[in-house]
């Protein structure tokens, strides 16, 4: 596994590609835990690289009749425990190293929860807000067709991520079904998860990552002896994860005092109404300039006084400057990889605890697994059943991580990887490496 990547001084203003190599950062985190576990050299070597890295250049016809080439990715990190599993991201800065990091985190999330899935990630380098709905559909169908047998219900199962949603998943499913053959159509429905309810999705999937975060925060609050009723929080990113999280945490009595997205940041010490904010965002595409809140800068946002901070936008948003500014007791990482290693040491010195991404945002993959199971068995579970099952899994996994951290004197991130790596190591040592 390779070296760490330095946070540039102006991490906050740079584009993603200038922020350091995300895969190097991911590998450095794993390496620390691998030393604790005493991971066998052959397992280290296998996990240090994805099994498959696919790049596809494909054409799409635009509404004006012209043709444009797009670059699509699918990285398959590991499938020891089950089929590759992970989101599809549509973002104008999507790149291979980012996909490699995100795919590896999926391997550890599944292993952490003992879910029979591996890790994968993919997407297209495109700004989805520049596409019409018809263009987005054509791009999705053409990309899915180009992926061909590189995805499949027992091989590699995509899900939504940044810039994609249930509708995109349904287009993927439908395209895959149409090439699968007449009699296999329904058997392959589970080729993607995160679908809409009408097309075979699970109740509770769209809120799952936010709700999983809330369950982790509830467990942490018990340990910290903090009453969530009346405590304050801020959220960076108000998309799928951030908006559901804000809504669900507010229902438990917590007060949202600041948020922001690609359009800008807002604050109100009296509290923001996440439901109204979501309605406003649906109309305008951003939370910026929401009435009933003060516009603030990104720097002011990171300096807001609150109990809990939830990054739920993109990776590498918390550099050393942000770590020094934050005035919270705890960070629950909704986004994948939001924190630079250098920032993490500063947070530790300042006594700010971090519930790491691989644990905190894993509610999505847990309910994706429930969706996959429901499709496989032709079942439909009630929302309350999904929530109860998610609660049980998130709280017991949180407890296992907390116990590992306490007993072995580790931070929560390292403890999370230790549990995942030990599961992978056991399986590798029993199965051996063929031939």
Please tell me the distance from the alpha carbon of residue 104 to that of residue 50, in angstroms, as a whole number.
Answer: 7
Q: Which is nearer to ligand NAD, 361 or 374 (CB)?
A: 361
* Residue nearest to ligand NAD according to CB distances in the complex: 239
User: Considering the rule CB under 6 A, would residue 72 count as an interface residue with ligand NAD?
Assistant: no
To ligand NAD, the closest distance from the beta carbon of 241 in angstroms equals 4
- Which of 97, 113, 209 minimizes the C-alpha distance to 162? 209
To ligand NAD, the closest distance from the beta carbon of 22 in angstroms equals 11
Total residues in contact with ligand NAD, by rule CB under 6 A: 23
Q: Map the footprint of ligand NAD across residues 256-285, applying CB under 6 A.
A: 260-262
Could you give the 3-state DSSP secondary structure of residue 280? helix
Q: Which is nearer to ligand NAD, 188 or 213 (CB)?
A: 213
Q: Which of 162, 191, 366, 418 binds ligand NAD (CB under 6 A)?
A: 162
To ligand NAD, the closest distance from the beta carbon of 369 in angstroms equals 13
Edge-to-edge strands, sheet with 52-61: 52-61, 67-78, 119-125, 84-91, 156-160
To ligand NAD, the closest distance from the beta carbon of 253 in angstroms equals 23
Give the list of residues 6+ apart from residue 351 with CB closer than 8 angstroms, or none.
Answer: none
Please tell me the distance from the alpha carbon of residue 159 to that of residue 166, in angstroms, as a whole number.
Answer: 8
Q: Which is nearer to ligand NAD, 169 or 418 (CB)?
A: 169
User: Considering the rule CB under 6 A, would residue 419 count as an interface residue with ligand NAD?
Assistant: no
User: Considering the rule CB under 6 A, would residue 319 count as an interface residue with ligand NAD?
Assistant: no
Helices (H) and strands (E) in the chain, counts: 15, 12
Please tell me the distance from the alpha carbon of residue 186 to that of residue 435, in angstroms, as a whole number.
Answer: 36
To ligand NAD, the closest distance from the beta carbon of 151 in angstroms equals 18
To ligand NAD, the closest distance from the beta carbon of 84 in angstroms equals 16
Structure tokens at 331: 């960070």
Q: Which is nearer to ligand NAD, 339 or 425 (CB)?
A: 339
Choices 111-119, 157-165, 289-297, 384-392; region in contact with ligand NAD by CB under 6 A: 157-165
User: Considering the rule CB under 6 A, would residue 86 count as an interface residue with ligand NAD?
Assistant: no
- Which of 349, 423, 429, 363 minimizes the C-alpha distance to 114? 423
Q: Which is nearer to ligand NAD, 193 or 232 (CB)?
A: 193
Please tell me the distance from the alpha carbon of residue 390 to that of residue 383, in angstroms, as a whole number.
Answer: 11
Taking CB under 6 A as the rule, which mask of x and - marks residues 232-261 in contact with ligand NAD?
----xxxxxxx-----------------xx
Q: Is the peptide bond before 435 cis (omega within 30 degrees of 0)?
A: yes
Give the list of residues 6+ apart from residue 434 with CB closer than 8 angstroms, or none.
Answer: none
Q: Is 121 a catalytic residue?
A: yes
User: Considering the rule CB under 6 A, would residue 193 count as an interface residue with ligand NAD?
Assistant: no
To ligand NAD, the closest distance from the beta carbon of 185 in angstroms equals 26
| String of DSSP letters for 208-269 | HHHHHHHHHHHHHHHHHT--STT-EEEEE--SHHHHHHHHHHHHTT-EEEEEEETTEEEE-T
Q: What Å distances lie between residue 109 and 21, 173, 272, 335, 349, CA to CA?
A: 21, 24, 32, 13, 27
Q: Which is nearer to ligand NAD, 34 or 237 (CB)?
A: 237
Q: Which is nearer to ligand NAD, 43 or 318 (CB)?
A: 318
DSSP β-ladder status, 264-267 and 294-296? antiparallel
User: Considering the rule CB under 6 A, would residue 314 count as an interface residue with ligand NAD?
Assistant: yes
To ligand NAD, the closest distance from the beta carbon of 262 in angstroms equals 4
Please tell me the distance from the alpha carbon of residue 281 to that of residue 166, in angstroms, as a whole number.
Answer: 18
Q: Which is nearer to ligand NAD, 43 or 108 (CB)?
A: 108
Q: Map the footprint of ligand NAD across residues 331-390, applying CB under 6 A.
A: 334-336, 361, 364
Q: Map the footprint of ligand NAD across residues 197-226, applying CB under 6 A.
A: 209
Catalytic residue among 85, 121, 136, 195: 121
Applying CB under 6 A, which residues contact ligand NAD?
160-163, 209, 236-242, 260-262, 312-314, 334-336, 361, 364
Residues forming the active site:
121
């Amino acid at each position: 596994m390779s070296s760490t990547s330095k946070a540039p001084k102006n991490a906050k203003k740079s584009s993603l590609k200038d922020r350091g190599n995300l895969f190097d950062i991911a590998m450095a985190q794993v390496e620390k835990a691998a030393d604790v576990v005493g991971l066998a050299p052959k397992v280290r070597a296998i996990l240090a690289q994805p099994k498959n890295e696919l790049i596809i250049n494909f054409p799409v016809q635009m509404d004006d009749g012209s043709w444009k080439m797009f670059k699509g990715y699918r990285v398959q990190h590991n499938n020891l425990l089950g089929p590759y599993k992970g989101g599809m991201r549509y973002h104008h800065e999507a790149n291979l190293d980012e996909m490699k990091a995100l795919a590896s985190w999926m391997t550890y999330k599944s292993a952490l929860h003992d879910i029979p899935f591996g890790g994968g990630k993919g997407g297209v380098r495109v700004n989805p807000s520049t596409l019409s709905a018809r263009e987005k559909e054509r791009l999705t169908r053409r990309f899915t067709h180009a992926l061909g047998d590189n995805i499949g219900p027992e091989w590699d199962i995509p899900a939504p991520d940044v810039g994609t949603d249930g509708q995109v998943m349904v287009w993927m499913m439908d395209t895959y079904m149409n090439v699968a053959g007449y009699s296999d159509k329904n058997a392959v429905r589970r080729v993607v998860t995160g679908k809409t309810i009408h097309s075979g999705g699970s109740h509770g999937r769209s809120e799952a990552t936010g709700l999983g975060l809330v369950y982790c925060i509830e467990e942490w609050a018990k340990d910290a002896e903090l009453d969530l009723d009346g405590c304050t929080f801020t959220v960076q990113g108000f998309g799928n994860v951030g908006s559901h999280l804000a809504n669900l945490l507010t229902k438990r009595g917590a007060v949202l005092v600041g948020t922001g997205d690609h359009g800008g940041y807002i604050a109100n010490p009296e509290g923001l109404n996440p439901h109204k904010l979501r309605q406003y965002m649906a109309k305008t595409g951003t939370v910026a300039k929401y009435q009933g809140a003060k516009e603030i800068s990104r720097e002011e946002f990171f300096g807001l006084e609150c109990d809990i901070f939830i990054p739920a936008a993109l990776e590498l948003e918390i550099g050393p400057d942000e770590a020094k500014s934050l005035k919270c007791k705890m960070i629950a990482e909704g986004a994948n990889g939001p924190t630079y290693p250098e920032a993490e040491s500063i947070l530790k010195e300042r006594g700010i605890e971090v519930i790491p991404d691989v644990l905190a945002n894993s509610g999505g993959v847990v309910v994706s697994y429930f969706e996959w199971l429901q499709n496989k068995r032709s079942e439909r579970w009630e929302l309350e059943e999904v929530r109860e099952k998610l609660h049980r899994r998130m709280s017991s996994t949180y407890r296992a991580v907390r116990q590992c951290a306490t007993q072995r004197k580790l931070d929560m991130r390292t403890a999370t990887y230790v549990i995942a790596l030990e599961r992978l190591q056991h399986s590798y040592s029993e199965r051996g490496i063929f031939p």
